[in-house]
Amino acid sequence: MAGSPKVGVLALQGDVREHAALLAGLGADVVLVRRPEELAEVAGLVIPGGESSVIDKLSRTFGLQHPIRAAIAEGMPVLGTCAGLIMLADRVVDAIEGQESFGGLDVVVRRNAFGRQAESFEAELEMPELEGGPVRAAFIRGPVVESVGPAASVLAALGDGRVVAVEQAGLLGLSFHPEITGETRFHERFLSAVSQRR
């Protein structure tokens, strides 16, 4: 589609194809980002779910850690789901030894807060910021936001008060997997942030 935003999906590990397909379905020009030169082509980035410690290691191996941090610092819109939320958090609790994040979101996130894969669940989330009613959210070994700093805002929490969606300027972090349930509104919000920045 002519003039559609060129956005990247960090394609080091995780559910890359699901995000790429969802974004393409919304009319975006999608680049799979594995190298700094591919990151330089895009106006926004999606960091998919997967294993945050592996994404961290591979981002350093492929020379992407510092370019991604710089892009975030310069205001590039980023959507992080599950492991992607962990990678966006300024501080990670229960990280493996030596694990680092890209940072940018003024939050503290706990890895694997919902237990093992067998304890995965779905929940309806009220999200007044999004039009179209509640969000059906799939949690698979998801992280939880333990505290939210003054720069970030809460978009959604579970009934027990645990925060599972946060936003800060063009950064959007989710504990769950909208790409699995066919929920498009977060990717639309991300693409809108990309378009506004252009």
List of residues 6+ apart from 13 with CB closer than 8 A: 50, 51, 54, 55, 58
Extract the runs of DSSP E, i.e. beta strands, from 11-72: 29-33, 45-47
Which of 18, 19, 82, 183 is catalytic? The answer is: 82
Q: Would you say 180 and 14 are in contact if contact means Cβ atoms under 8 Å apart?
A: no
183 in catalytic set: no
CA angle 100, 46, 11 (to 5 degrees): 75
146 in catalytic set: no
Q: Would you say 139 and 114 are in contact if contact means Cβ atoms under 8 Å apart?
A: yes
Which of 18, 167, 177, 187 is catalytic? The answer is: 177
82 in catalytic set: yes
Which of 18, 167, 179, 183 is catalytic? The answer is: 179
Residue from 193, 176, 78, 87 nearest 127 by CA: 176
The catalytic residue positions are 82, 177, 179
